[in-house]
Amino acid sequence: MDVWEPRPLPNVTPESERYWEAASNDRLLLSKCPDCDLVIHYPRARCPDCFTETEWTEASGDGRIYSYSVAERMEGWPEADLPLVVAYVELAEGPRMMTNLIGCDPDDISVGDSVSAVFISTEEDNIGIPVFRPD
Amino acid sequence: MSESVYIAGAFEHPTREAPNKSTMQLHADVAAGALEDAGVPKEAVDGYFTAGVPEMEHSLTPLMAADYLGLDVAYADSTDYGGSSYISHVGHAASAIRDGKCDVALITLAGRPRSRGQATGSGVRKLRTVQDSYERIYGTTNVTMYGMAARRHMEEYGTTSEQLAEIRAAASHHAQYNEHAMYRDPVSVEDVVESPVVADPLHLLDCCVISDGGGALLVISEDARSELDRECVEVLGHGEAPKHHDAGRIDITTTGAVESGERAFTEAGLGPEHVDYASIYDSFTITVLEAIEDLGFCKKGYGGTFVADGALRADGELPFNTDGGGLCSNHPGNRGGMTKVIEAVRQLRGETSPEVQVDADIALAHGTGGSIATRHGAATVILGTEGIS
Ligand SMILES: [Zn+2]
Q: For B50-70, how does the pLDDT look when each residue is reduced to its tens digit (9 = 90+)?
A: 997 655 545 657 888 999 999
pLDDT at B125 over 80: no
What distance in angstroms lies between residue A14's CA and the mean position of ligand 1's atoms?
21
Instruction: Measure CB to CB from residue A71 to each of B144, B151, B155 and give the nearest one.
Output: B144
Integer angstrom CA distances of residue B147 from B129, B204, B206 = 22, 11, 10
Structure confidence by residue, pLDDT tens digits, B222-276: 999 999 999 999 999 999 999 999 999 999 999 999 999 999 999 999 999 999 9
Map A4-67 to HEC letters: CCCCCCCCCCCCCHHHHHHHHCCCCEEEECCCCCCEECCCCCECCCCCCECEEEECCCEEEEEE
CA distance A82 to chain B (A): 11
pLDDT at A85 over 90: yes
Q: Is A74 on the interface with B (CB under 8 A)?
A: yes
**How deeply is B318 buried, as exposed, middle or buried, from its count of CB atoms within 10 A (0-12, 13-18, 19+)?**
buried
Q: What angle do CA B110, B177, B297 make, to 5 degrees?
A: 75
Q: Who's near A131: CB < 8 A, 6+ residues apart?
A: A1, A99, A100, A101, A102, A117, A118, A119, A120, B138
Test the A interface: residue of B127, B135, B202, B249 with most A CBs within 10 Å? B249
pLDDT at A82 over 60: yes
Q: How many helices (H) and strands (E) does chain B have?
A: 13, 11
Structure confidence by residue, pLDDT tens digits, B354-370: 999 999 999 999 999 99
Q: Is A3 on the interface with B (CB under 8 A)?
A: no
Give A81 or B382, the one with higher predicted confidence: B382
What distance in angstroms lies between residue A32's CA and the mean position of ligand 1's atoms?
8
Give B55 or A62, the one with higher predicted confidence: A62
**How distant is the alpha carbon of residue B222 from its chain centre?**
25
Helix (H) or strand (E) holding A87: strand A84-91
pLDDT at B205 over 80: yes
Chain B residues close to A67, C-beta within 8 Å? 148-149, 151-152, 155, 252, 373
Compute the average pLDDT of residues B66-94: 95
Chain B residues close to A68, C-beta within 8 Å? 148, 151
pLDDT at A1 over 90: no
Q: Which residues pair with B382 in a beta bridge?
A: B237, B364
Q: Is A131 on the interface with B (CB under 8 A)?
A: yes
Instruction: State the angle between helix axes of B61-69 and B23-38 in degrees (0 to 180), rounded to the nearest 10.
Output: 70
Q: Is A51 on the interface with B (CB under 8 A)?
A: no
- Decide if B252 and A91 are in contact by the 8 Å CB cutoff: no
Chain B residues close to A49, C-beta within 8 Å? 247
Structure confidence by residue, pLDDT tens digits, B300-321: 999 999 999 999 999 999 999 9
Q: Who's near B351: CB < 8 A, 6+ residues apart?
A: B345
**How deeply is A135 buried, as exposed, middle or buried, from its count of CB atoms within 10 A (0-12, 13-18, 19+)?**
exposed
Q: Is A41 on the interface with B (CB under 8 A)?
A: yes
Q: Is A46 on the interface with B (CB under 8 A)?
A: no
Compute the average pLDDT of residues B373-380: 97
The predicted structure's pLDDT at residue B53: 63
Compute the average pLDDT of residues B27-43: 98
pLDDT at B389 over 80: no
How far, in Å, CA of B332 to CA of B367, rounded?
14
pLDDT at B124 over 70: no
**How distant is the alpha carbon of residue B180 from its chain centre?**
17
Q: For B124, list phi and psi in degrees, rounded to 5.
A: -70, 125
- In chain B, at which residue ranges do the beta strands (DSSP E only) sit? 6-12, 47-49, 75-77, 104-111, 197-199, 202-203, 213-220, 233-243, 277-280, 362-370, 376-385
pLDDT at B75 over 70: yes
Residues surrounding ion ligand 1 at CB below 5 Å: A 33, 35-36, 38, 47, 49-50, 52
What distance in angstroms lies between residue B248's CA and the mean position of ligand 1's atoms?
14
Contact at 8 Å (CB) between B385 and B233?
Answer: yes
| Domains annotated on chain B, with CATH | 6-116+213-232 (3.40.47.10), 135-204+237-385 (3.40.47.10)
Q: Is B261 helix (H, G, I), strand (E, B) or coil?
A: helix
Measure the N-to-C terminal CA separation of chain B; round to a whole number of Å: 10
Contact at 8 Å (CB) between B149 and B253?
Answer: yes
Q: Which residues pair with A88 in a beta bridge?
A: A67, A98
Which residues of chain B approach chain A closer than 8 Å at the C-beta? 122-124, 127, 130-141, 143-145, 147-152, 155, 197-202, 245-250, 252, 373-374
The predicted structure's pLDDT at residue A75: 83
- Across all residues in chain B, what is the average pLDDT? 94
- Decide if B148 and A96 are in contact by the 8 Å CB cutoff: no
Q: What is the DSSP code string of B206-225?
A: GB---B-EEEEEEEE-HHHH
- Decide if A99 and B138 are in contact by the 8 Å CB cutoff: yes
Instruction: State the angle between helix axes of B285-294 and B142-157 in degrees (0 to 180), rounded to the nearest 10.
Output: 50
Omega of the bond prior to A83 within 30 degrees of 0, cis?
yes
Global pTM exceeds 0.90: yes
Structure confidence by residue, pLDDT tens digits, A100-134: 999 999 999 999 999 999 999 999 999 999 999 99
- A-B contacts at Cβ under 8 angstroms: 121
Q: For B110, list phi and psi in degrees, rounded to 5.
A: -155, 155
Instruction: Measure CB to CB from residue B133 to each of A10, A49, A91 and give the nearest one.
Output: A10
Compute the average pLDDT of residues A60-85: 93
